Structure 1
Amino acid sequence: MNRLIIISGCSGGGKSSLLLELSQRGYTIVEEPGRRIVSQELARQSTALPWIDLAAFARRAIRQSLEDLSRTKGLDGDVFFDRGLIDAANALCQSSAPDAEKREAQELCSLHRFHRTVFMTPPWPEIYHTDAERNHDLVTAVKEYESLRGFYPKLGYEPVALPRISIAQRADFVLTYLRANC
């Protein structure tokens, strides 16, 4: 049996670095669907990008997240996700998609459950930077973070903010928290 654990939060808050550390410690990780999609869309010069067509981007992220979930079935141990289905559903809910589609995305989140604790990287201006796949500013990243902090509890999850400490200490925090609260 595996536990599916989400690391979410503010863009540029250290999620990917934390997941790399967990991977180096032997845990299975699933890379962020959004960054994979953005990379593909930029390479194809296509428009399913969050800053061009958020609804199309979110739909792709939902599909990618469901594929990721399917690939993790049957694995033993903890599986850590860099964002995933719920973040994608939240993005769709923030988009211009029809209300029926937004409800369907939330229903998918009810069907595919993760560990009740979601670790959230808070905004951290000192480490925030943009790149080809993250071209939004910190103000936009903080708005997304606040949206996610409100969305997860609506689906029955408990967001836990990660402290602003080293990557290794964050990994220790996550693992210790999971051992103590299972």
Structure 2
Amino acid sequence: MKNRKIVITGGPGTGKSSIVHNLEKKGEKCLHEISRQVTLEAQKEGIDQLFLEQPLLFSEKLLEGRLNQFKEASAYNSDHIFIDRGLPDVVAYMDYFDTNYPEIFDNTCQNNRYDQIFILPPWKEIYKSDNERYESFEEALKISSYLYSTYKRYGYEPIEVPKLSVEDRTNFILDKI
């Protein structure tokens, strides 16, 4: 099967970016998380925290960006491509924050299917907050449960990645694909 789209997801601070960077070092094709990019673009326009100030607009921009990534992944001439967060992540966060969203969010998730989902569990020992990650670890735990249930709701069976070194987690993922 060509162009298998494989999502790496999980709550904030679970090690997704480290694993994606490690996959790239190993020569794997990867598409990176875009939420920080959306946040930085909004900051250039004078909106300090778009996600907090205008959550629906932020989520619309994320949905559009992730849909573009989904389409971009289809154009690669490769057996598979790893994607840091998928379309259902947007819905999970909207649900977590109890924010209403139009039907297009749900339809987009249902009509653009990934081939495999890996979810990284919350891990207090590696969790760090920064300028773009403002959630507490307790909030990260809740977000993680929303991510898991949202992917299940869309018919996925996420594979939980064990709490190991970045190298061992990367190898676990590569062994499962």
Q: TM-score, normalised to structure 2's length?
A: 0.91
Q: Report the Cα distance in structure 2 between the residues aligned to 1:165 and 1:80, rounded to whole angstroms.
A: 19
In the alignment, which of 76, 81, 96 is matched to residue 79 of structure 1? 81
8 Å CA contact 1:90, 1:151 repeated in 2: yes
| Paired amino acid for 2:121 | P
Tell me the alpha carbon deviations over residues 109-134 of structure 1, each in whole angstroms, 9 at most, x when there is no partner: 1111101x311111111111111111
Gaps of 5+ in 1: none
Q: AA paired with 1:114? A: Y
Matched, 1:110 2:116: no
State the match for 1:88 in structure 2. Answer: 90
2:4 aligns with 3
**Contact (CA 8 Å) 2:8, 2:119: kept in 1 or not?**
yes
How much does 1:5 deviate?
0.5
Instruction: For 1:39 and 1:96, locate their aligned partners in 2 and report how far apart those are by CA, in whole Å.
Output: 22
Aligned pairs, how many?
A: 174
Report if aligned partners of 1:10, 1:123 keep a CA contact under 8 Å in 2: yes
CA-based RMSD: 1.6
Q: Aligned-pair distance for 1:47?
A: 5.8
Residue 107 of structure 1: how far off its partner (Å) = 1.2
Cα distance in 1 between the residues matched to 2:155 and 2:48: 33
CA shift for structure 1 position 30: 0.9
Kindly indicate whether residue 94 of structure 2 is the aligned counterpart of residue 64 of structure 1: no
- Residue number in structure 1 paired with 2:33: 32
State the distance in 2 between where 1:141 and 1:106 align.
Answer: 23
**Contact persistence 1:55–1:91 (CA under 8 A):** no
Structure 2 runs not aligned, ≥5 long: none
Alignment of 1:19-168 (within 5 A): 19-46=20-47, 49-75=50-76, 76-94=78-96, 95-98=98-101, 101=102, 103-115=103-115, 117-168=116-167
**Bigger mean CA offset, 88-97 vs 166-175:** 88-97
TM-score calculated relative to the size of structure 1: 0.88
Counterpart of 1:16?
A: 17
In 1, Cα distance between equivalents of 2:42 and 2:146: 25
CA distance in 2, matches of 1:91, 1:47: 19
1:30-71 deviation digits (Å, cap 9, x = unpaired): 111212212222333226632333222111100111111222
Contact 1:4 1:78 in 2 (8 A): yes
Per-residue Cα deviation, 1:82-127 (whole angstroms, up to 9, x for no partner): 11311013223444334xx0x3211111111101x31111111111
Equivalent-residue separation in structure 1 for 2:54 and 2:122 (angstroms) = 24
Q: Following TM superposition, where does structure 1 have runs of at least 4 consecutive aligned residues deviating by more than 4 angstroms?
A: none
Q: Is the 8 A contact 1:6 1:119 kept in 2?
A: yes
Name the stretch that deviates more: 86-95 or 150-159.
86-95
Percent identity of paired positions between Structure 1 and Structure 2 = 28
Tell me the SS of whatever aligns to 2:124. coil
